[in-house]
Amino acid sequence: MSAVRTQWASPGCLHSPRLSTRSVKIAVCVKFPATIKTLLLKQSFALTRLLNPPLTLSMSFSSSSCMDGSYAEIVVVRHGETEWNADGRIQGHLDVELNEAGKQQAALVADRLSKEPKISAVYSSDLKRALVTAETIAAKCGGLEVITDPDLRERNLGELQGLVFREAAKLSPKAHKAFLSHRTDQDIPGGGESLGHLFQRCTSSLQRIGNKHKGMPDHLSKGERVVVVSHGGVIRSLYKRACPNGKSGGKVLNTSVNIFHLCDEEWTIKSWGDVSHLQQTGYLESGFGGDKTSG
């Protein structure tokens, strides 16, 4: 048995000025004695996370308006896990609550953010799984009031909502085909949204938040740091807005931390997919969705 250790390569986010993560992959094979093979197999989940740490991008800001502190730092967090996440069931606009694992994830990310620079405001989708996550963060970060915005909701997936993903092609073939389409104007039967509509509503929401919390370009007023709690499909759209020419951001894990800097119409990503607060816990990657399957 051998383990392969790799260093993450940064996605091709051409919109961002510079990435400090080097696009290098190094493979190291280590032979393990037979006596510990069984133990390693049992600990494969922990080993996988150790050998594949969350991707973090370090950015520098070349825009003069950002250099003077007039950007807003927006910490975008995916909601905690739900039973439907764990079961592989498509949620969309259906209002599913956090399960116990999700509540623990919310508490862990809230504790983390409370120890970081001051949070000035907390925004959230109005769906329970996001709202409860946001309320947990707000309570830990000074008892802030959560501001809800329906434009931060997950994509409406029409007839697919409530179906187990692996059965969707059989139970609703037309909706499933529309869902897999790469066309941005393709609606999903049953009132579902196109990718283009999702992109427009959620990026407009984040832009409004950024405009409200950015500082003044006077070298004296720094922009504020705020939290936005939303959903996997939404966060992937926000990534696309910041990195229009970049590779996919990959799966968005439950309570992952993704930091955006918004300077007027210019968006950059400071860090992506950070789940370090979930390390050494059992709540890391059990959730469903956060990628093309939405959640």
CB count within 10 Å of CB 186 equals 16
- 129 carries a ligand binding annotation: yes
- 5 carries a ligand binding annotation: no
pLDDT score for 206: 98
DSSP H or E stretch at residue 209: helix 195-213
Q: Please state, in angstroms and rounded to a whole number, the distance separating the CA atoms of residues 262 and 268.
A: 7
Which has the higher per-residue pLDDT, 209 or 287? Answer: 209
Q: What is the pLDDT of residues 129-169, one digit of tens each?
A: 999 999 999 999 999 999 999 999 999 999 999 999 999 99
DSSP H or E stretch at residue 21: none
Q: What is the pLDDT of residues 213-229, one digit of tens each?
A: 997 766 555 799 999 99
**Residues 121, 148 contacting (CB under 8 angstroms):** no
Q: Please state, in angstroms and rounded to a whole number, the distance separating the CA atoms of residues 100 and 102.
A: 5
Which has the higher per-residue pLDDT, 21 or 142? Answer: 142
CB count within 10 Å of CB 217 equals 17
Place of tokens 């990503």: 269
DSSP reduced 3-state for 120:
coil
pLDDT score for 20: 37
- Strands 72-78, 225-230: pairing is parallel
pLDDT confidence band for 292 (50 / 70 / 90): low
Q: Please state, in angstroms and rounded to a whole number, the distance separating the CA atoms of residues 228 and 96.
A: 19
- 49 carries a ligand binding annotation: no
Average pLDDT, the chain: 80
pTM: 0.79
pLDDT score for 13: 60
Q: What is the pLDDT of residues 230-273, one digit of tens each?
A: 999 999 999 999 999 888 888 899 999 999 999 989 999 999 99
Which has the higher per-residue pLDDT, 209 or 31? Answer: 209
pLDDT score for 14: 40
Residue 186 amino acid letter: Q
Q: Is 79 one of the annotated active-site residues of the chain?
A: yes
Q: What is the CA radius of gyration of the chain?
A: 20
Catalytic residue of the set 73, 93, 135, 154:
154
Q: Please state, in angstroms and rounded to a whole number, the distance separating the CA atoms of residues 220 and 70.
A: 9
Characterise 237 by phi-psi region: left (phi > 0), alpha (psi -120 to 50), beta (else). alpha
- DSSP bridge pairs for 59: 19
> What is the end-to-end Cα distance of the chain in Å, rounded?
35
pLDDT score for 78: 98
Instruction: Report the Cα 231 to chain-centroid distance in Å.
Output: 7
- 85 carries a ligand binding annotation: yes
- 78 carries a ligand binding annotation: yes
Nearest to 158 by CA among 199, 201, 193, 196: 193
- 231 carries a ligand binding annotation: no
Instruction: Report the Cα 130 to chain-centroid distance in Å.
Output: 12
Q: What is the pLDDT of residues 71-84, one digit of tens each?
A: 999 999 999 999 99
CATH code reported for the domain at 67-212: 3.40.50.1240
pLDDT confidence band for 56 (50 / 70 / 90): very low
- Strands 266-274, 121-124: pairing is unpaired
pLDDT score for 256: 97
Catalytic residue of the set 79, 213, 231, 277:
79
User: Three-class SS string for 51-111?
Assistant: HCCCCCCCECCCCHHHHCCCCEEEEEEECCCEHHHHHCECCCCCCCCECHHHHHHHHHHHH
pLDDT score for 246: 84
Enumerate residues 6+ apart whose C-beta is below 8 A from 173. Answer: none
